[in-house]
């Protein structure tokens, strides 16, 4: 008997049924597909509820009524202003408040993160302001500033400030000490360390704080536009709610959500451009 015959006579390994039955790794469903299915399902349930009159149209109009209301807002408007005019007024207040809060919040956050004295002075103010709802200090702002645009921008800015201050201070405190020490060993001054090392390293945290602040600003917008406003999305929603025009109310909520999503997308795009090393999306 030859050697090859002996080898062929040896028992060969048998593939187990467990290994043979294992399926190939399936490709995960994209998050965008899951989100789309969720939105379609919600709209479908909404349409069924209105079609079978499970909820009164006064409280829940059909999706078709809301789409018609959106079209009428664009074409003819509501309470003497078109949708573009309402959106423009609200964006003016949001961005005015955002600029003011950035100009105040970033230096305050740097002072808290780099100085014991700054932290001792500003920390109590921030911690006092942070948990307060805007409606709590809205009457006081009206007394101090008046009922014009300044009071609305001030209220929105106060709601944005804590997020920017806290995120900036966290970013400054999180800067690597090795980087700071390396800059100092190369002869960098305190100003150069701050502008060339600390601030660039804190930019991702600052941008995150700005994104959070935008969300806080939109939630405050409706309350701010309750005071002597003649235009704005929040004013439009409040006016429609007084007359039970629910389709306008829902249309206004959808517009706010779409604008907020668009601003979030722009903020993420800016973050990817400015700090690509810190972007994980």
Residue 138 neighbours by CB distance under 10 Å: 20
Q: In the prediction, which pLDDT does 11 show?
A: 54
Which of the two residues, 103 and 118, has the higher pLDDT score?
A: 103
List the one residue out of 132, 133, 150 whose CA is nearest residue 141: 150
pLDDT digits (tens, 9 = 90+) for 31-48: 888 888 998 999 899 889
pLDDT at 19 over 50: no
Is the residue at 151 inside a domain? Answer: yes
CATH code at 263? 1.10.3720.10
pLDDT at 22 over 50: no
pLDDT at 143 over 80: yes
Q: In the prediction, which pLDDT does 94 show?
A: 93
Look over the chain and give the mean of its residue pLDDT values, rounded to a whole number: 83
Quickly list H helices, 115-148: 116-129, 134-145
Is the residue at 90 inside a domain? Answer: yes
The mean per-residue pLDDT over the stretch 16-23 comes to 49
User: Domains in the chain: how many in total?
Assistant: 1
pLDDT at 179 over 90: no
Q: In the prediction, which pLDDT does 222 show?
A: 82
Domain hosting 93: range is: 63-278
pLDDT at 3 over 60: no
pLDDT digits (tens, 9 = 90+) for 183-229: 888 777 778 887 788 888 888 899 989 989 988 888 888 888 877 78
Q: In the prediction, which pLDDT does 277 show?
A: 67
Provide, rounded to the nearest whole percent, the portion of the chain with pLDDT above 90.
29
Q: In the prediction, which pLDDT does 164 show?
A: 94
Is the residue at 157 inside a domain? Answer: yes
Is the residue at 20 inside a domain? Answer: no
* Torsion angles phi and psi, residue 25, rounded to 5: -60, 120
Measure the CA–CA gap between 162 and 21, rounded to whole angstroms. 56
Is the residue at 209 inside a domain? Answer: yes
The three-state secondary structure class of 81 is strand
Is the residue at 57 inside a domain? Answer: no
Is the residue at 51 inside a domain? Answer: no
The pTM assigned to this predicted structure is: 0.79
pLDDT at 169 over 70: yes
pLDDT at 104 over 90: yes
Measure the CA–CA gap between 172 and 197, rounded to whole angstroms. 10
pLDDT at 150 over 80: yes
Is the residue at 27 inside a domain? Answer: no
């Amino acid at each position: 008997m030859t050697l090859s015959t002996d080898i062929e006579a040896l028992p060969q390994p048998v593939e187990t049924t467990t290994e043979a039955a294992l399926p190939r790794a399936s490709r995960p469903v994209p998050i965008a597909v899951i989100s789309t299915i969720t939105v379609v399902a919600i709209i479908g349930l909404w349409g069924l509820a209105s079609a079978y009159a499970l909820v009164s149209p006064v409280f829940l109009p059909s999706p078709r009524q809301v789409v018609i209301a959106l079209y009428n807002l664009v074409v003819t408007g509501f309470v003497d202003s078109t949708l573009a005019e309402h959106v423009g007024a609200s964006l003016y207040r949001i961005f005015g408040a955002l600029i003011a809060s950035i100009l105040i919040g970033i230096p305050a956050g740097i002072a808290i993160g780099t100085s014991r004295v700054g932290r001792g002075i500003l920390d109590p103010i921030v911690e006092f302001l942070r948990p307060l709802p805007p409606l709590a200090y809205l009457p006081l702002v009206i007394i101090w500033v008046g009922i014009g645009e300044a009071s609305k921008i001030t209220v929105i800015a106060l709601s944005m400030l804590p997020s920017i201050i806290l995120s900036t201070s966290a970013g400054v405190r999180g800067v690597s000490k090795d980087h700071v020490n390396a800059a100092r060993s190369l002869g960098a001054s305190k100003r150069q360390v701050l502008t060339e090392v600390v601030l660039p390293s804190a930019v991702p945290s600052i941008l995150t704080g700005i994104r959070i602040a935008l969300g806080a600003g939109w939630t405050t917008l409706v309350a701010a536009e309750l005071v002597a406003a003649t235009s704005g999305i929040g004013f439009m929603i409040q006016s429609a709610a007084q007359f039970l025009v629910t389709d306008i109310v829902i249309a206004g909520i959808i517009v706010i959500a779409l604008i907020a999503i668009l601003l979030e997308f722009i903020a993420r795009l800016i973050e990817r451009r400015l700090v690509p090393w810190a972007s994980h999306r």
